[in-house]
Amino acid sequence: MKTGEIVTAGLLALFSAYLMWKSAELPVGYIRGEGPGGGAWPFWLSAIMLICACMVAVNGWRGRTTPSGSTEPLLDSHGWKMLVMVGGAIVVFVGLISIISMYGAIAVFLLYYTLYLGRHGWGLSLSISLLTPILFFFFFEGAMQITMPKGMSFTDPVFDILYDIIY
């Protein structure tokens, strides 16, 4: 984990420096009669973040932090596989929302998870992945009057039927 600790601290330090640079687009000092400038608060906080990230990196280098003292990798092969299979699926799920609607994306994600990752049978997987978005539709659109993304126009006929039930 030592390498992971140092690399992560380095990335966080870079991000902190970027935040300092962005904050400096507004005044970061004290303006007489107006108080601290608009960029002062995030600028100095980002500066503290930068110092802390450097300290974490140095402590990691010296093996003084718990993760840097561990001989285990940050993620083993199972961990990476899980991240790709689950984390990747979440990214695809969110990406699909603008194409096949929130409800369509929920159905696809649940089917993938229960059938492929959970290794449940087709019957249970299909029931969960079809009933959940339908229940969500009636809860959000019917009860809460919140319109979820409908995706591209080819989904319209399905929603027309569902809206006919609500209204």
Partner 1 sequence: MLVSIQPLNLMLIFVGVAVGLFIGAMPGLGSVNGVAILLPITFLVPAGSAIIFLAAIYYGAMYGGAISSITLGIPGASTAVATTFDGRPLALQGRASLALVTAALASFVGGTVANVLFTLFAPVLATVALSFGPPEIFALMLLAFATFVGLGGDDIPKTIFSICFGLVLASVGFDQISGEPRLVLFEMDGFLQGIGFLVLAIGVYGIGEMLWTIEQTRGEVTTTNANLTVKGMFSDLREASQRAWKGTVIGSFLGFFVGVLPAAGATPGSLMSYGVAKMVSRRPETFGKGNPDGISAPESANNSASTGAMLPMLTLGIPGSPTTAILLGGMVIWGLTPGPRLFINETEFVWGLIGSFYISNVAALLINLAFIPLFVWMLRMPFTILAPMIFVLSIAGGYAATRNMHDIWMMVVFGLGAFFLRKLDYPLAPAVLAIVLGPIAEPTLRQSLLLSSGDPSIFFTRPIAGPITVIALILIFLPALQFVRRRRRKAMA
Alpha carbon 111 to chain centroid, angstroms? 21
Give the number of residues in contact with partner 1, rule: CB under 8 A.
66
- d(C-alpha 104, C-alpha 107), whole Å: 5
Compute how many other C-beta atoms are within 10 angstroms of the C-beta atom of residue 18. Answer: 12
155 in contact with partner 1 (CB under 8 A): no
Candidates 3, 62, 63, 90; binder of partner 1 (CB under 8 A) is: 90
Give the integer Cα–Cα distance in Å for 143 and 140: 6
Name which position in 14, 83, 99, 152 contacts partner 1 (CB under 8 A).
83
> If binding is defined by CB under 8 A, does position 98 make contact with partner 1?
yes
Residue 114 touches partner 1, criterion: CB under 8 A: yes
In the complex, least distance from residue 164 CB atom to partner 1, rounded to whole angstroms = 22
Please, are residues 132 and 110 in contact by the beta-carbon 8 Å criterion?
Answer: yes
113 lies in the binding site for partner 1 (CB under 8 A):
yes
Amino acid making up residue 77: S
141/149 Cα distance (integer angstroms): 11
Alpha helices in the chain, H assignment, sequence order: 2-23, 40-61, 66-69, 77-82, 88-111, 122-137, 156-166
Closer of 37 and 158 to partner 1 (Cβ): 37
- Residue ranges that bind partner 1, judged by CB under 8 A: 1, 4-5, 8, 12, 19, 22-23, 25-26, 30, 32, 34-36, 38-39, 41-42, 45-46, 48-49, 51-53, 55-56, 59, 65-67, 74-75, 78-79, 82-83, 86-87, 90-91, 93-94, 97-98, 102, 106, 109-110, 113-114, 117-120, 128, 132, 136, 139-140, 143-144, 146, 148-149
